[in-house]
């Protein structure tokens, strides 16, 4: 069996790759690349595999203790596909402990005869191709407009269900995703939310959404959390510390003049092994915190029968590298509307291993809750 790395895909991320053709089964060993930040979690790689006959191989992820919240192999369910087949989940990781005590996760895969291409990622990838599919599927009911360019000069798309109007009468919601570029569950939830919105005959709430806020990082394969000098979600001061944040701040001002703002959502994913369910973080702001709690309760009612964590409403009390404003703090202080962060697990909620359809269903539920607000 011959295994080698091929040209990286969009969103590609891998390092320390080695293929060992020995022992009972061949092994492909790899790690997630930090891409310039202290934290890593996201990986996405393509392998070319040639086998003389059907067989088996091990995929081994190294250095779990250095990946954000990913230290338990049995709570990791990466995704894979052969050639152009649909993405599928791998089973829970098989724990391995090295002789010196390091933790690894291993997955055994069946290898078909002949030449094939194996793609592997931490979670279902979501990038420009998936965004194009969303736009095509909504048949013009969802509009994409550029709101500026990234630090690397790429146009930043903003999607909208309605352009709004100078009279500002329609209730409006602003949604942002992928401030941390590897947190793909948030994108799939937004995908489901926007699909539900475009199926609705109503024009409220007006929704403007930035689906790939850290577009450079999405394309380059960054994980994107706490990257130097500031990650996007810690760059929301006035003036802002990142080019992308400046563009989104200007768009928020335009949105606020063309609707009656009622709420804002920031879509994220938590630590790699978290399986409690979807939950919210409230902004650290008074009196906005109280109205954000009401918003969170509305979202909880939409999700609590199936998707919500038991501890749904939380306050971010984990240590941060910077004491700087984030998206929800900016929204509550500048536009005086409730805003919450939603954390959507990568792999499972309880015993339910998550599929793309599950993420979209969560998004549709959130749209129902936002419609009730409008």
Count of the separate structural domains present in the chain: 2
> How many residues make up the chain in this entry?
374
Locate 251 and state its tokens. 């768009």
Decide: residue 1, CB within 10 A, 0-12 exposed, 13-18 middle, 19+ buried: middle
Are 229 and 338 within one domain? yes
Are 168 and 263 within one domain? yes
What pLDDT is recorded for position 287?
57
Q: Looking at residue 13, what DSSP letter applies? A: B
Are 67 and 153 within one domain? no
Are 145 and 256 within one domain? yes
Are 283 and 363 within one domain? yes
Are 188 and 300 within one domain? yes
Domain endpoint, select from 79, 94, 121:
121
**Closest of 76, 90, 94 to residue 347, by C-alpha:** 76
Are 20 and 46 within one domain? yes
Are 245 and 342 within one domain? yes
Q: Looking at residue 286, what DSSP letter applies? A: T
What pLDDT is recorded for position 73?
98
Decide: residue 93, CB within 10 A, 0-12 exposed, 13-18 middle, 19+ buried: buried
**Closest of 58, 45, 138, 142 to residue 96, by C-alpha:** 58
Domain endpoint, select from 63, 90, 121:
121
User: The domain containing residue 358 runs over which residues?
Assistant: 128-373
Are 105 and 171 within one domain? no
Query: To 5 degrees, how large is the angle CA 124–CA 130–CA 134?
Result: 125
Are 140 and 287 within one domain? yes
Decide: residue 68, CB within 10 A, 0-12 exposed, 13-18 middle, 19+ buried: buried
Can you say whether the dihedral through the CA atoms of 48, 52, 55, 58 is positive or negative?
Answer: negative
Are 207 and 290 within one domain? yes
CATH code (residue 104): 2.60.40.3120
What pLDDT is recorded for position 229?
77
CATH code (residue 302): 3.40.630.10
* Euclidean distance between CA atoms 349 and 35, whole angstroms: 29
Domain endpoint, select from 71, 86, 121:
121
Are 174 and 146 within one domain? yes
Contact 306, 374 (CB under 8 A): no
What pLDDT is recorded for position 121?
98
Would you write out the chain's pLDDT as a tens digit for each of its 374 residues? Answer: 788 888 888 899 999 999 887 667 889 999 999 999 999 999 999 999 998 888 999 999 999 999 999 999 999 999 999 999 999 999 999 999 999 999 999 999 999 999 999 999 999 999 999 999 999 999 899 999 999 999 999 999 999 999 999 999 999 999 999 999 999 999 999 999 999 999 987 767 999 999 999 999 999 999 999 887 789 999 999 999 999 999 999 999 999 999 999 999 999 999 999 999 999 999 876 555 688 999 999 999 999 999 999 999 998 776 777 778 899 999 999 999 999 999 999 999 999 999 999 999 999 999 999 998 86
Q: Where are the beta strands (DSSP E) in the chain?
A: 2-5, 15-20, 27-31, 44-51, 55-61, 79-82, 88-89, 94-97, 103-111, 114-121, 143-149, 155-160, 171-177, 206-210, 260-268, 278-282, 308-315, 339-343, 348-349, 352-353
């Amino acid at each position: 069996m011959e295994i080698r790395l091929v040209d990286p895909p969009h969103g590609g991320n891998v390092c320390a790759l080695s293929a060992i053709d020995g022992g009972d089964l061949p092994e492909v060993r790899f790690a997630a690349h930090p891409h310039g930040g202290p934290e890593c979690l996201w990986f996405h790689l393509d392998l070319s595999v040639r086998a003389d006959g059907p067989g088996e191989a091990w995929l081994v992820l190294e250095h779990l203790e250095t990946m954000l919240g990913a230290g338990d192999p049995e709570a990791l369910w990466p995704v894979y596909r052969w050639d152009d087949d649909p993405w599928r989940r791998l089973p829970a990781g098989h724990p391995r402990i090295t002789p010196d005590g390091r933790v690894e996760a291993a997955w055994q895969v069946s290898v078909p005869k002949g030449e094939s291409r194996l793609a592997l990622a931490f979670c279902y990838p979501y990038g420009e191709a998936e965004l194009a599919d969303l736009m095509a599927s909504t048949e013009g009911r969802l509009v994409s407009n550029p709101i500026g360019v990234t630090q690397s000069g790429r146009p930043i798309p903003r999607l909208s269900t309605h352009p709004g109007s100078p009279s500002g009468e329609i209730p409006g919601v602003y949604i942002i995703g992928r401030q941390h570029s590897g947190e793909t569950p948030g994108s799939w939830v937004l995908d489901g939310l926007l699909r539900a919105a475009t199926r609705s005959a109503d024009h409220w709430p007006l929704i403007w959404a930035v689906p790939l806020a850290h577009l450079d990082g999405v394309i380059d394969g960054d994980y994107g959390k706490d990257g130097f000098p500031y990650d996007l979600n810690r760059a929301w001061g006035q003036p802002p510390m990142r080019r992308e944040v400046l563009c989104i701040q200007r768009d928020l001002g335009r949105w606020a003049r063309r609707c009656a703002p009622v709420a804002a959502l920031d879509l994220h994913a938590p630590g790699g092994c978290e399986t409690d369910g979807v939950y919210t973080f409230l902004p650290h702001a008074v009196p906005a915190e109280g109205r954000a709690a009401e918003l969170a309760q509305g979202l909880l009612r939409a999700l609590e029968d199936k998707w919500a964590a038991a501890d749904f409403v939380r306050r971010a009390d984990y240590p941060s590298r910077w004491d700087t404003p984030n998206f929800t703090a900016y929204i509550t202080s500048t536009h005086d509307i409730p805003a919450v962060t939603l954390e959507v697990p990568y792999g499972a909620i309880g015993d339910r291993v998550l599929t793309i359809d599950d993420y979209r269903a969560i998004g549709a539920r959130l749209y129902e809750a936002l419609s009730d607000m409008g």
